[in-house]
Chains A and B, each alone.
Chain A
Amino acid sequence: MNQRRLTAIILALALSLPLFAQSKGESTIVFTPQWTAQAQFAGYYAALELGFYKEEGLEVVIEHPNASRSAIDRMRKNQSQVTTLPLSQAIFALDSGVKLVNLLQTSMNGSLMIVSRRGVNPLKQKGARVASFRAGYDQLARAVANELGLEYEWLETASLLNLFIAGAVDASVAMSFNEYYQFLQTGLIERNEDIVYRLSDHGYNIQEEGLYMTREEYDKNPERARKFARASQRGWEWVAYHQEEALEIVMRQIHRNHEATNPTLQRLMLEEVLDLMEGYESGEREYVLRGEMVNQAVALMLKAGIIRTEHTIKELLP
Chain B
Amino acid sequence: MRIGHRLRSSLSARISLWTVLFAAIVFIISISVVAFRSRNAVREEAIKGANRVLENTILRTNYILEDVEDIANNLEWLILKDLDNPDAMMEYSHSIVQNNTILNGCSISFEPYFYPQKGKYFSAYSNNNGRYVYTMQEGSDNYQYFYLNWYMLPKLLMQPCWTEPYTDQEEGDEATMNLEMNVSYCKPIIGNDGNFIGVISLDISLKWLSETISAVKPYPNAYAFLLGRGGCYLVHPDPQKLFYESFFTPGLVYALTPEQKQLGKDMLDWKEGIRRLEVDGDPSFVIFRPILTTGWSLAIVCPESDIFGGFRRFRNTLLLSLILGLILMFLVMYFIIHRQIRPLSRLASHAETMASGNLDVELPHMDRTDEVGVLNRTFRYMQVSLRKYIDELTTATAKRERIEGELQIARDIQMGMVPSTFPAFPDRQDIDLYASMSPAKEVGGDLYDYFIKDQNLYFAVADVSGKGVPASLFMAVVRNLFRVVGSAGLPPEEIARQINNTLSEDNEQLMFITMFIGRINLEDGSLSFCNCGHNPPVLLKDKPEFMQCEPNVPLGIAPGFQFNGQSIEGFRGTPILLYTDGLNEAENSAHEELGNERLLQSLATNPFKDAKTTVLMLQGVVSAHVGDAEQSDDLTLLCINLKP
B521 CB within 8 Å of chain A: no
Chain B's closest residue to A68 (CB) is B144
Kindly provide the distance from the CB of A140 to the nearest chain B CB, expressed in whole angstroms: 20
In the complex, chain A residues whose CB is within 8 Å of the CB of B153: 162-163, 166, 168
24 contacts between A and B (CB under 8 A): A1-B150, A1-B168, A2-B166, A2-B168, A5-B169, A9-B171, A10-B142, A14-B142, A68-B142, A69-B141, A134-B147, A157-B148, A157-B149, A161-B230, A162-B149, A166-B157, A168-B153, A168-B156, A186-B248, A187-B230, A187-B251, A188-B230, A260-B167, A262-B240
Secondary structure type dominating chain B contacts: mixed
In the complex, chain B residues whose CB is within 8 Å of the CB of A265: 249, 252
The 6 A-B residue pairs with the shortest CB-CB distance in the complex, in nearest-first order: A159-B149, A162-B149, A186-B230, A165-B230, A168-B156, A187-B248
- Over the window 173-208 of chain A, the binary record of Cβ atoms lying under 8 Å from chain B Cβ atoms (1 yes, 0 no) is 000000001001111100000000000000000000
CA distance A176 to B266 in the complex (A): 27
Q: Is the CB of B152 within 8 A of A159?
A: yes
Kindly provide the distance from the CB of B442 to the nearest chain A CB, expressed in whole angstroms: 107
Chain A's closest residue to B248 (CB) is A187
In the complex, chain A residues whose CB is within 8 Å of the CB of B265: 187
- Over the window 1-18 of chain A, the binary record of Cβ atoms lying under 8 Å from chain B Cβ atoms (1 yes, 0 no) is 111110101110010000
In the complex, chain A residues whose CB is within 8 Å of the CB of B132: none
In the complex, chain B residues whose CB is within 8 Å of the CB of A157: 147-149, 152
- The listed residue (A129, A156, A188) touching B147 by CB distance below 8 A is A156
Q: Which residues, 85 to 139 on A, are CB-close (under 8 Å) to B?
A: 129, 134
In the complex, chain B residues whose CB is within 8 Å of the CB of A181: 252
- The listed residue (B152, B164, B241, B244) touching A165 by CB distance below 8 A is B164
In the complex, chain A residues whose CB is within 8 Å of the CB of B240: 262
Q: Which residues, 116 to 149 on B, are CB-close (under 8 Å) to A?
A: 125, 138, 140-144, 147-149
Assign chain B's interface to a size class: 35 or more
Q: Is the CB of B142 within 8 A of A11?
A: yes
In the complex, chain B residues whose CB is within 8 Å of the CB of A76: none
Q: Is the CB of A163 within 8 A of B149?
A: yes
Additional pairs, 13, CB under 8 Å, beyond known A168-B157, A265-B252: A14-B142, A68-B148, A157-B148, A158-B148, A161-B230, A162-B164, A166-B229, A169-B156, A186-B230, A187-B265, A262-B249, A265-B249, A268-B252
A282 CB within 8 Å of chain B: no
Kindly provide the distance from the CB of A79 to the nearest chain B CB, expressed in whole angstroms: 12
Assign chain A's interface to a size class: 35 or more
Q: Is the CB of A155 within 8 A of B156?
A: yes
In the complex, chain B residues whose CB is within 8 Å of the CB of A4: 125, 138, 143
In the complex, chain A residues whose CB is within 8 Å of the CB of B285: none
Chain A's closest residue to B174 (CB) is A255
A308 CB within 8 Å of chain B: no
Q: Which residues, 253 to 286 on A, are CB-close (under 8 Å) to B?
A: 255, 258, 260-262, 264-265, 267-268
CA distance A2 to B157 in the complex (A): 23
In the complex, chain A residues whose CB is within 8 Å of the CB of B404: none
By CB atoms of chain B within 10 A, which of A14, A165, A184, A258 has the most?
A165
Q: Is the CB of B142 within 8 A of A264?
A: no
Binding site for B on A (CB under 8 A): 1-5, 7, 9-11, 14, 66-69, 129, 134, 155-159, 161-166, 168-169, 181, 184-188, 255, 258, 260-262, 264-265, 267-268
By CB atoms of chain A within 10 A, which of B148, B184, B203 has the most?
B148
In the complex, chain A residues whose CB is within 8 Å of the CB of B147: 68, 134, 156-159
Q: Is the CB of A261 within 8 A of B152?
A: no
In the complex, chain A residues whose CB is within 8 Å of the CB of B245: 262, 264
By CB atoms of chain A within 10 A, which of B157, B184, B230, B265 has the most?
B230
In the complex, chain B residues whose CB is within 8 Å of the CB of A184: 248, 251-252
Kindly provide the distance from the CB of B190 to the nearest chain A CB, expressed in whole angstroms: 17
Chain A's closest residue to B268 (CB) is A187
CA distance A166 to B230 in the complex (A): 8
CA distance A7 to B136 in the complex (A): 14
Q: Is the CB of A165 within 8 A of B249?
A: no
CA distance A265 to B179 in the complex (A): 20
Q: Is the CB of A185 within 8 A of B248?
A: yes
In the complex, chain B residues whose CB is within 8 Å of the CB of A134: 144, 147
Given contacts A68-B143, A264-B252, contact A185 B231 (CB under 8 A): yes
Chain A's closest residue to B163 (CB) is A162
Q: Is the CB of B142 within 8 A of A7?
A: yes
In the complex, chain A residues whose CB is within 8 Å of the CB of B166: 1-3
In the complex, chain B residues whose CB is within 8 Å of the CB of A261: 244
In the complex, chain B residues whose CB is within 8 Å of the CB of A255: 174
- The listed residue (B142, B148, B184) touching A69 by CB distance below 8 A is B142
Kindly provide the distance from the CB of A120 to the nearest chain B CB, expressed in whole angstroms: 19
In the complex, chain A residues whose CB is within 8 Å of the CB of B171: 9
- The listed residue (B148, B157, B164, B231) touching A187 by CB distance below 8 A is B231
Kindly provide the distance from the CB of A182 to the nearest chain B CB, expressed in whole angstroms: 9
In the complex, chain B residues whose CB is within 8 Å of the CB of A258: 169, 177
Q: Is the CB of A262 within 8 A of B143?
A: no
CA distance A185 to B228 in the complex (A): 12
Kindly provide the distance from the CB of A293 to the nearest chain B CB, expressed in whole angstroms: 29
B571 CB within 8 Å of chain A: no
Q: Which residues, 222 to 266 on B, are CB-close (under 8 Å) to A?
A: 228-232, 240-241, 243-253, 264-265
Q: Which residues, 149 to 189 on B, are CB-close (under 8 Å) to A?
A: 149-150, 152-153, 156-157, 161, 163-164, 166-169, 171, 174, 177, 182, 184
In the complex, chain A residues whose CB is within 8 Å of the CB of B168: 1-2, 5
